[in-house]
Protein backbone atom coordinates (compact mmCIF):
# COMPACT_ATOMS: atom_id res chain seq x y z
CA UNK A 1 0.00 0.00 0.00
CA UNK A 2 1.17 3.51 -0.82
CA UNK A 3 2.65 5.11 2.33
CA UNK A 4 0.68 8.34 1.91
CA UNK A 5 -2.59 6.43 1.50
CA UNK A 6 -1.80 4.45 4.63
CA UNK A 7 -1.27 7.70 6.58
CA UNK A 8 -4.69 8.98 5.49
CA UNK A 9 -6.41 5.67 6.27
CA UNK A 10 -4.76 5.47 9.69
CA UNK A 11 -6.03 8.95 10.51
CA UNK A 12 -9.51 7.97 9.35
CA UNK A 13 -9.50 4.93 11.64
CA UNK A 14 -8.11 7.02 14.52
CA UNK A 15 -10.81 9.69 14.22
CA UNK A 16 -13.52 7.02 14.03
CA UNK A 17 -12.13 5.31 17.13
CA UNK A 18 -11.06 2.05 15.48
CA UNK A 19 -7.77 0.20 15.48
CA UNK A 20 -6.15 0.37 12.05
CA UNK A 21 -6.56 -3.05 10.47
CA UNK A 22 -7.23 -3.48 6.77
CA UNK A 23 -6.28 -7.15 6.72
CA UNK A 24 -9.88 -8.19 7.36
CA UNK A 25 -12.29 -8.50 4.47
CA UNK A 26 -14.78 -5.64 4.32
CA UNK A 27 -12.82 -3.45 6.77
CA UNK A 28 -14.46 -0.45 5.13
CA UNK A 29 -17.91 -1.36 6.52
CA UNK A 30 -17.17 0.52 9.74
CA UNK A 31 -19.50 3.28 10.93
CA UNK A 32 -18.84 6.77 12.21
CA UNK A 33 -20.74 9.93 13.11
CA UNK A 34 -21.25 13.08 11.05
CA UNK A 35 -18.93 14.88 13.47
CA UNK A 36 -16.16 12.30 12.98
CA UNK A 37 -16.64 12.42 9.21
CA UNK A 38 -16.46 16.22 9.22
CA UNK A 39 -13.34 16.17 11.42
CA UNK A 40 -11.64 13.75 9.03
CA UNK A 41 -12.66 15.78 5.99
CA UNK A 42 -11.15 18.93 7.50
CA UNK A 43 -7.96 17.11 8.44
CA UNK A 44 -7.42 15.40 5.08
CA UNK A 45 -8.14 18.55 3.06
CA UNK A 46 -5.66 20.55 5.16
CA UNK A 47 -3.15 17.70 4.94
CA UNK A 48 -3.32 17.74 1.13
CA UNK A 49 -3.35 21.51 0.84
CA UNK A 50 -0.31 21.99 3.06
CA UNK A 51 1.84 19.03 1.95
CA UNK A 52 3.06 18.39 -1.58
CA UNK A 53 4.18 14.80 -0.94
CA UNK A 54 0.68 13.38 -0.29
CA UNK A 55 -0.78 15.48 -3.10
CA UNK A 56 1.71 14.00 -5.57
CA UNK A 57 1.22 10.47 -4.26
CA UNK A 58 -2.57 10.48 -4.03
CA UNK A 59 -3.91 12.87 -6.66
CA UNK A 60 -3.80 12.30 -10.39
CA UNK A 61 -3.33 16.05 -10.86
CA UNK A 62 -1.67 17.29 -7.63
CA UNK A 63 -3.15 20.76 -7.68
CA UNK A 64 -3.71 22.38 -4.29
CA UNK A 65 -6.78 24.30 -5.42
CA UNK A 66 -9.88 23.91 -3.30
CA UNK A 67 -11.76 22.42 -6.27
CA UNK A 68 -9.11 19.76 -6.93
CA UNK A 69 -8.82 18.77 -3.28
CA UNK A 70 -12.61 18.66 -2.85
CA UNK A 71 -12.88 16.46 -5.94
CA UNK A 72 -10.22 14.10 -4.63
CA UNK A 73 -11.91 13.93 -1.24
CA UNK A 74 -15.29 13.10 -2.78
CA UNK A 75 -13.65 10.23 -4.69
CA UNK A 76 -11.76 9.01 -1.61
CA UNK A 77 -14.86 9.15 0.58
CA UNK A 78 -16.85 7.18 -1.98
CA UNK A 79 -14.14 4.51 -2.30
CA UNK A 80 -12.89 4.24 1.29
CA UNK A 81 -15.12 6.27 3.61
CA UNK A 82 -17.05 4.68 6.43
CA UNK A 83 -20.85 4.66 6.65
CA UNK A 84 -22.40 7.47 8.69
CA UNK A 85 -24.62 6.40 11.60
pLDDT tens digits, 12-54: 999 999 999 988 888 888 999 999 999 999 999 999 999 999 9
Q: What are phi and psi of 68, to 5 degrees?
A: -65, -45
Inter-axis angle of helices 66-80 and 34-50, to 10 degrees?
130
pTM of the model: 0.91
Residues 39, 15 contacting (CB under 8 angstroms): yes
Amino acid sequence: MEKELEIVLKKMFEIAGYEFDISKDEWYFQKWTHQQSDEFETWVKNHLKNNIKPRKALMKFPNKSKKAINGWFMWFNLMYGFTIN
